[in-house]
């Protein structure tokens, strides 16, 4: 082998695995190289991008189906996004060979392979390249990609059923990756039959369950929404959590209803996920208004008290309702793909509204003041400003003393101290008869977007 097979040399020499992929080597040697790149060690000097480029080349050009299949699995190890990139490159290769060719002809053929790696790519590709008529497509078997598909397990696609039917068949695939990608592509292509997805919601594999829920959210029909509601109500803990985590993507009033019920789910994990999804639905959607969610939460609290409950919503203190705590936790989240800045702002606003309306604005509980004081140091200034705007509205004992202590704490966050001083000034101006001032303050914090608009974000 050439000297550049040595790893660790100056100039970023290829790791040894790269050299094993040389076309002059036999298939067993190339397979060894692909396997190494699919399980890279810390000693490899090649960057992930260079490794991925090598694996993509193998999938597109190698003449051994086993090597190509292993390269697909290695790409999957490095991340889903590389399977999407592979699909894009395959489609481009087919079209370069013949402008009239339909890449889905290739992907439909791959979906019939006896190797799961090819079927995974086939299921992904059918939903990724856009709608077209497979039956009128030309056969691109003369391209290197189509030659690969022939080895993957070819069949004549003339007169084949539409892609959604092929994908529905893949719902029963023995590989979870194929099932998950098939149901997502099915929804992407406009499939609307709900019954085939129902069984996926009960799958033991979390990847499949998530994909089934995401497909229903994407489909968004009344039947799909009804099935999501049933799963959120009657499913196991894992399924209920999966449903509520993704319901913010279905911008419907029905989604809010499901989530409002789920914030009182028996499972703490489901309740937390539902609170985050509800705040995000309000923040990012257009069908559900924040004030409507607030009124429903307040009405539910009132109804529980009328029925003899203590208003704790399953929490550990009657004066500190669990839903309020959940929303505060969402607002204080360290950020994730599900808790965005607008989600935090709307969660804080809803939390403050529930605190302020507790017992008509009085007696919000011992936990409310410390939490809102902590929120004055939030990384997002809009979240912190919302907390600062609500603090003067609380009729809590020793509120002024607690605010004064923060304002004078030299070790506290400087921004939090400044906001505390501002709150102190308002508390000094505020009297029991300041109804007009309180009304103005209420308008100011009617919705988190008020802060964004005021500060020009």
Q: Which residues contact 285 (CB under 8 A, 6 or more apart)?
A: 248, 251, 255
This prediction's pTM:
0.80
Position 16 scores a pLDDT of: 82
Of 104, 113, 25, 116, the closest CA to residue 73 belongs to 116
Q: How far apart are CA 237 and CA 223, in angstroms?
A: 22
Tens of pLDDT, residue by residue over 285-310, are 999 999 999 999 999 877 666 665 55
Kindly report the length of the chain.
457
* Rounded (10°) CA dihedral 9, 15, 21, 22: 0
Weakly modelled stretches of the chain, pLDDT under 70: 1-15, 40-46, 130-161, 303-321, 359-366, 431-457
Q: Cα 393 from chain centroid?
A: 35
Q: Domain-by-domain residue ranges, the chain?
A: 3-78, 289-457
Give me the architecture of the 3-78 domain, per CATH: Alpha Horseshoe (1.25)
Please answer whether residues 26 and 39 qualify as being in contact, where contact means their C-beta atoms are separated by less than 8 angstroms: no
Radius of gyration of the chain (CA): 28
């Amino acid at each position: 082998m050439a000297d550049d097979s040595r790893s660790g040399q100056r100039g970023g020499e290829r790791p040894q695995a790269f050299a094993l992929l040389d076309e002059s080597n036999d298939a067993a040697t190339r397979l060894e190289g692909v396997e190494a790149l699919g399980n890279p060690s810390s000693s490899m000097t090649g960057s992930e991008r260079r490794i991925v480029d090598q694996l993509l080349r193998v999938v597109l050009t190698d003449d051994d189906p086993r090597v190509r299949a292993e390269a697909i699995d290695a790409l999957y190890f490095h991340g889903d996004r590389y399977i999407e990139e592979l699909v894009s490159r395959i489609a481009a290769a087919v079209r370069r060979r013949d402008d009239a060719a339909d890449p889905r002809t290739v992907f439909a053929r791959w979906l019939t392979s006896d190797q799961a790696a090819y079927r995974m790519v086939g299921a992904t590709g059918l939903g990724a390249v856009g709608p077209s008529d497979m039956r009128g497509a030309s056969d691109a078997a003369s391209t290197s990609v189509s030659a690969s598909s022939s080895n993957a397990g070819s069949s004549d696609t003339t007169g084949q059923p539409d892609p959604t039917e092929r994908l529905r068949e893949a719902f029963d695939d023995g590989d979870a990756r194929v099932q998950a990608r098939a149901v997502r592509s099915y929804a992407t292509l406009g499939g609307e039959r709900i019954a085939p997805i129902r069984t996926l919601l009960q799958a033991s594999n979390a990847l499949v369950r998530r994909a089934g829920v995401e497909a229903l959210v994407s489909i968004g029909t009344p039947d799909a929404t009804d099935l999501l509601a049933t799963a959120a109500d009657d499913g196991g803990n894992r399924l209920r959590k999966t449903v509520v985590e993704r319901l913010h993507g279905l911008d419907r009033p029905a989604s809010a209803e499901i989530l409002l019920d789920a914030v009182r789910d028996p499972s703490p994990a489901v309740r937390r996920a539902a609170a985050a999804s509800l705040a995000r639905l309000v923040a990012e959607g257009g069908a559900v208004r924040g004030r409507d969610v607030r009124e429903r939460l307040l009405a539910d609290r009132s109804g529980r008290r009328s029925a003899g409950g203590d208003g704790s919503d399953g929490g550990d203190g009657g004066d500190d309702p669990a839903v309020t705590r959940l929303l505060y936790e969402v607002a204080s989240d360290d950020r994730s793909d599900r808790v965005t800045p607008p989600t935090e702002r709307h969660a804080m606003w809803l939390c403050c509204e529930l605190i302020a309306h507790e017992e008509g604005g009085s007696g919000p509980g011992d936990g409310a003041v410390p939490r809102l004081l902590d929120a004055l140091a939030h990384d997002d200034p809009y979240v912190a400003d919302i907390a600062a705007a609500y603090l003067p509205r609380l009729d809590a004992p020793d509120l002024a003393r607690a605010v004064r202590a923060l304002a004078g704490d030299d070790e506290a966050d400087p921004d939090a101290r400044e906001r505390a001083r501002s709150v102190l000034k308002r508390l000094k101006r505020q009297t029991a008869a300041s109804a007009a001032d309180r009304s103005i303050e209420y308008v100011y914090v009617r919705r988190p977007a008020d802060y964004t608009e005021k500060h020009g974000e």
